[in-house]
Structure 1
Amino acid sequence: MARAQGARAQMALAFETTYGTPPVSGFTKMPFASTSLGSEQPLLNSELLGYGRDPLAPIKDAVTADGDVVVPIDAEAFGFWLKAAFGDPTTAGAAAPWTHEFQSGSWVLPSMSIETGMPEVPRFAMYSGCVLDQLSWQVQRPGLLTATARLVAQGETIATLSGAGSPAELALQRFGHFNGAISRNGSALGNVVSAEITYANNLDRIETIRSDGKIDGADPSIAALTGRIEVRFADSTLVAQAINGDPCEISFSYVLPSGESFTFTVHAVYLPRPRIEISGPQGVQATFDWQAAKAASHARMCTATLINDIEVY
């Protein structure tokens, strides 16, 4: 008997025309490292008395479908997750390479249908009505460059055959940490040890009463963009900014030798005043838990720019 193995798992994604309705075609095979996307329905213990010490049968509670997907930050497939986070991009170019600009602030986010498959069982789980709640990643010197997408779904449908058909495949061109650079107000920001970026749509689940126990949707509320920068304490530039309370623009960029690039620009970063500790004979480091806000000059909080050979997302 065949047993499920993660090495044979697969994932396909397509954007929906109608929320909660998987499209019949248009799926794309997505690279991923792991996923906790799933549906669960807890049981409620009976509170009734008068039937002895043994409890009565439990009652089913509401269905919850959500989870995380860990994906590589690459030149092509990552654009689908950026579209899920920010909405449709503005695409420029008469021919490849194309420049896709994703901007924060949109009140309309697309929903997706995501199928995870284990063909050896066989088990194919279709999650419809998936809306991206949070997208986060880390910037560091070693290791693999991946992002975590947190999703809220409407429901799960299990089948023995794939509902995604034969999904289209993309060329995998991964960015690495060694392709990365960080700049502040257009100049390279030195002495950075590590950084974290978290963009959250702060979805509001519409939990109306339905016979199937599913939600009616997930609406975005006030977005949040936060993170952390850890630097070797070499000068007082960032500390002075924190004390003065002035914002700065910080960009995180990755460029491949073949020309593909990804740039994430936070237009107004506010830094808290950090505690500078001398904990021993080694180098002194400072940690800034930063927050972003809407910048008056750009009328938005952040911009993600992806340059690749994909014409339309």
Structure 2
Amino acid sequence: MARAQGARAQMALAYETVYGTPPVSGFRLMPFARATLGSEQPLLESELLGYGRDPLAPIKDAVTADGEVVIPIDVEAFGFWLKAAFGQPTTNGTTPKTHTFQSGNWTLPSMAIETAMPEVPRFAMYSGCVLDQLSWQMQRSGLLTATPRLVAQGETIAATTAAGTPTALGLQRFGHFNGTVKRNGTALGNVVSAEITYSNNLDRIESIRGDGRIDGADPTMAGLTGRIEVRFSDSTLVTQAIDGSPCELEFVYSLGANASFTFTAHAVYLPIPRIEIAGPQGVQASFDWQAAKAASPARMCTAVLVNTLAGY
């Protein structure tokens, strides 16, 4: 009897034309490290009396399909997740191509994602996947990954794949070594770590249906928050926090002229932090920042991915 192993698992992704309807072609093979994407349907315990001490059979509740995927931040495949987070990008240039994603879109694309365990076999197709949140961390060392959080409409299990033969992408990963944090265009020194979280704050449309699934997941007010941990060496950030004025934070990864990723929060507000002296080692300060819509450009954030892919 075959036993499922993560080493043989695969993930394929394609955008849907109609919400909740997987396309018949156009799937791409996605690199991933972990996935909790799944569907569950809990049971409701019977509350009825008068039938003795033993309970009656439980009743099925509504279906919930969601989860997270841990993915590498790479040169090509990461753009598909950025499109899910921000909507269709603007693509310019010949070689390389510059794909610009902007916050503020009212509509987001839905995706069909299939996870495959071929040795069982089990092919789970998740339709109507909409990206709720995208987060990642910057630090000095380790593997650079991001975590998209998804809300799906439902799950369909089959013994054969519905994704055909997915198109494989070239895998070229960014690393923490390639990262830089800039404040108002100038490299910000003494940064120990940084966290970035973009949220679409999806509203699940929980209509009454015979199959127990949702009717959709609509984006509401977007949010962009994070944290920067810095060695306390000057009062630049503290002064900004006291003044209440915004700054522009830019998170950059570069592998050369043809491969880069730049995420810019155009108006970042910093809280006044507590400066603690924890011992004889260096003093650090943490800023839990929040971003808002800037005056120019009139949006909250911009993500720019440079590669040789024709488009998304």
What corresponds to 1:26 in structure 2? 26
Deviation at 1:251, TM superposition (A): 0.3
Structure 1 CA distance, aligned partners of 2:49 and 2:96? Answer: 69
Find the residue that maps to 1:306 and give its secondary structure.
Answer: strand
What corresponds to 1:74 in structure 2? 74
Find the residue that maps to 2:238 and give its secondary structure.
Answer: helix
What corresponds to 1:53 in structure 2? 53
Q: Percent identity?
A: 79
User: Which amino acid counterpart does residue 8 of structure 1 have in structure 2?
Assistant: R
Q: Is 1:25–1:165's contact at 8 Å kept on the other side of the alignment? A: yes
Find the residue that maps to 1:254 and give its secondary structure.
Answer: strand
User: Which amino acid counterpart does residue 283 of structure 1 have in structure 2?
Assistant: G
What corresponds to 2:231 in structure 1? 232
Structure 1 CA distance, aligned partners of 2:252 and 2:243? Answer: 27
Alignment size in residue pairs = 312
| TM-score, structure 2 normalization | 0.99
- Once the two structures are overlaid, the 10-residue window that deviates more, 12-21 or 254-263, is 254-263
Structure 1 CA distance, aligned partners of 2:163 and 2:257? Answer: 31
Deviation at 1:152, TM superposition (A): 0.2
Find the residue that maps to 1:243 and give its secondary structure.
Answer: helix
Find the residue that maps to 1:231 and give its secondary structure.
Answer: strand
Structure 2 CA distance, aligned partners of 1:20 and 1:312? Answer: 23
List alignment gaps of at least 5 residues for structure 2.
none
Deviation at 1:259, TM superposition (A): 2.9
Q: Is 1:204–1:219's contact at 8 Å kept on the other side of the alignment? A: yes
Deviation at 1:170, TM superposition (A): 0.3
Q: Is 1:96–1:311's contact at 8 Å kept on the other side of the alignment? A: no
What corresponds to 2:152 in structure 1? 153
Deviation at 1:53, TM superposition (A): 1.4
Q: Is 1:182–1:189's contact at 8 Å kept on the other side of the alignment? A: yes
What corresponds to 2:291 in structure 1? 292
CA-to-partner distance for each residue in 1:109-142, whole Å, 9 max, x for gaps?
0000000000011000000000000000000001
Q: Is 2:258–2:308's contact at 8 Å kept on the other side of the alignment? A: no
Matches within 5 A, 1:39-188: 39-93=39-93, 95-188=94-187
Matches within 5 A, 1:193-212: 193-212=192-211
User: Which amino acid counterpart does residue 144 of structure 1 have in structure 2?
Assistant: L
Structure 1 CA distance, aligned partners of 2:181 and 2:46? Answer: 56
The alignment's C-alpha RMSD in Å is: 0.6
List alignment gaps of at least 5 residues for structure 1.
none
Structure 2 CA distance, aligned partners of 1:96 and 1:162? Answer: 35
Q: Is 1:39–1:65's contact at 8 Å kept on the other side of the alignment? A: yes
Q: Is 2:229–2:286's contact at 8 Å kept on the other side of the alignment? A: yes
**Deviation >3 Å, runs of 4+:** none
Structure 2 CA distance, aligned partners of 1:86 and 1:262? Answer: 15
Structure 1 CA distance, aligned partners of 2:28 and 2:201? Answer: 26
Q: Is 1:14–1:23's contact at 8 Å kept on the other side of the alignment? A: yes
Deviation at 1:257, TM superposition (A): 3.6
What corresponds to 2:37 in structure 1? 37
Structure 1 CA distance, aligned partners of 2:50 and 2:271? Answer: 59
Find the residue that maps to 2:177 and give its secondary structure.
Answer: helix
| TM-score, structure 1 normalization | 0.99
Deviation at 1:258, TM superposition (A): 6.1
What corresponds to 1:308 in structure 2? 307
